[in-house]
Structure 1
Amino acid sequence: MTDSSPAPVSRAEYCAVACAEAWRGAGEVLASPMGLIPSVGARLAKRTFSPDLLLTDGEAMLVGLDGRPEGWLPYRRHLAMVTGGRRHVMMGASQIDAYGNQNISCVGDWERPSRQLLGVRGAPVNTLNNPVSYWVPRHSKRVFVERVDMVCGVGYDRAGDAPFHRLVRVVSDLGVFDFATPDHRMRLVSVHPGVTVDEVRAATGFALVTGPEVPSTREPTPEELRLVREVLDPRGLRDREVAPR
């Protein structure tokens, strides 16, 4: 007799569900996830609680639930959505600080950096003109820093009155964070099962805002687990991005 009970929920699966939650209630906006776990999350959101999301193949087409083209999105229309608050991008961050300033360009002094990274790319336009979230697969003090070495994505302390600036959430392999505090400092919203608040604090290079109790990241539903495991990532590539713990 074989055991037919489902495998325990992995850390990567908690992260995918947490990423999906970033698009809950987003309406008909263009979801632009960067990275495997955010992509699984965006597609999961569209298949479950955010059916109006628009997904793109990254070139010129809108794609449906089965990944097939269902519409045309030329680059000029894409840019119009970017600059008008009609896109929600989930980017990575080589460094991020307490106010959500993000660095993906260099480590060290930009004139003589110790590490050259991707470059600024579209981060300033993204953060000033449409909602942005961040995905960090390896939470550490090297990423969650007191002060970023170079500002690429703009945080709350620098955004001024930019009309569409909004940092929705940060998801890491340890927990979920937002900026829903009076001064828009990063707040710990939930810890993934198996993680403690003290562990998150020890891995963060600045003082986190926390409530008196921090809940666990929500459990995926049986249908969400089925979609992740059988439809969205049947090869289990998510466990390469977030190692099982």
Structure 2
Amino acid sequence: MSTATDTSTEVTRADICVVAVAECFRGDGEIIGSPMGTVPTIGARLARATFEPDLVLSNGESLFFEGTHRLGARPDEFAAVGWIPYRQVLDVLASGRRHVMMGPVQIDAHGNANISAIGDWAKPKRQVLGSRGGPGNTINHTTSYWIPKHSARVLTAAVDMVSCIGYDRAAQVGKAARFHEVRRVVTNLGVLDFESVNGAPATMRIASVHPGATVDEIVANTGFELIVPADVPETRLPSDEELRLIREVLDPRGMRLREVPA
């Protein structure tokens, strides 16, 4: 899929997904951004390089860095401006000053996500990453998700294991979940967010559809009922400067195209 900007520069679906991910971090200010995976990393770095300059990013380990770096840069290429030990990361995330973007293998209508195992817990069919920091992340600070292939197998009516809590479970926890926010789910078809109807726990809603995709396509590939507004906008295209940063600075090798083919 490709479309065109006003300058007739072709824009791929992967470019649009990167911008949609970057928009997840808009307004965050000076907090730790923790993108996991190819498109989330490019998107977070794009946000920091453009409209969210105070976003704090690490090199994937314990060093914070300044500047704009390509995906896959060596550790010695980063200009380190700070260091944070693992213990202090836990202190920061517990205060709500972090926004993580993860990739679930399953997610339901309320944003409960599975990153651990597929199938019955006693004898799973497949083991994946494991819950790791998922429970603490989702109860203590903002979380978004990236799904490179939108399908009903991933966006499913019920997850096999709750590794990351959604709005229904957060409501049951009460005050302990005061920093809980599942902000957005970005997929190769569109952007989803959450809306509460009549005071009920928030459920997933179509926020925008990527150019070249359709609302019907999103609905057909989702395993639960989505909130569908009467007027669903298109996801915005990257500006010329954003496109230059994506292609020439952040991802000159085109790694994003492996996750979202053109």
1:24 aligns with 2:35: no
Task: Give the equivalent residue in structure 1 for 2:89.
Answer: 78
- Structure 2 distance, partners of 1:65, 1:91, is 23
- CA-based RMSD: 1.1
| Deviation (angstroms), 1:6 | 5.9
| 158, 176, 185: which one aligns with 1:147 | 158
Task: Give the equivalent residue in structure 2 for 1:64.
Answer: 66
Task: Give the equivalent residue in structure 2 for 1:163.
Answer: 178
1:201 aligns with 2:219: yes
Amino acid at match of 2:215: V
Task: Give the equivalent residue in structure 1 for 2:11.
Answer: 9
| Deviation (angstroms), 1:22 | 0.6
| 88, 95, 98: which one aligns with 1:87 | 98
1:187 aligns with 2:205: yes
| 112, 115, 122: which one aligns with 2:123 | 112
Amino acid at match of 1:121: R
| 29, 45, 49: which one aligns with 1:47 | 49
1:212 partner SS: coil
CA contact (8 A) 1:81 1:87 kept: yes
CA contact (8 A) 1:93 1:136 kept: yes
Amino-acid identity (%): 55
The CA deviation string for residues 149-189 of structure 1, in whole angstroms up to 9 with x for no partner, is: 10000010101321111111000001001113333000000
- Structure 1 distance, partners of 2:195, 2:224, is 17
Task: Give the equivalent residue in structure 2 for 1:230.
Answer: 248
Amino acid at match of 2:257: D
Amino acid at match of 1:178: D
Q: List structure 1 segments (4+ residues) > 4 angstroms apart after TM superposition.
A: none
Give the TM-score of the pair, scaled to structure 2.
0.89
1:9 partner SS: strand
- Structure 2 distance, partners of 1:234, 1:7, is 16
1:49 partner SS: coil
| Deviation (angstroms), 1:120 | 1.1
The answer for unaligned runs of 5 or more in structure 2 is 1-6, 69-77
- What number of residue pairs does the alignment pair up? 240
Amino acid at match of 1:200: I
Task: Give the equivalent residue in structure 2 for 1:37.
Answer: 39
CA contact (8 A) 1:103 1:153 kept: yes
- Structure 1 distance, partners of 2:194, 2:89, is 27
2:228 partner SS: coil
Task: Give the equivalent residue in structure 1 for 2:3.
Answer: none
The answer for unaligned runs of 5 or more in structure 1 is none
| Deviation (angstroms), 1:58 | 2.0
1:214 partner SS: coil
1:132 partner SS: strand
- Structure 2 distance, partners of 1:85, 1:198, is 36
CA contact (8 A) 1:181 1:187 kept: no
Task: Give the equivalent residue in structure 2 for 1:220.
Answer: 238
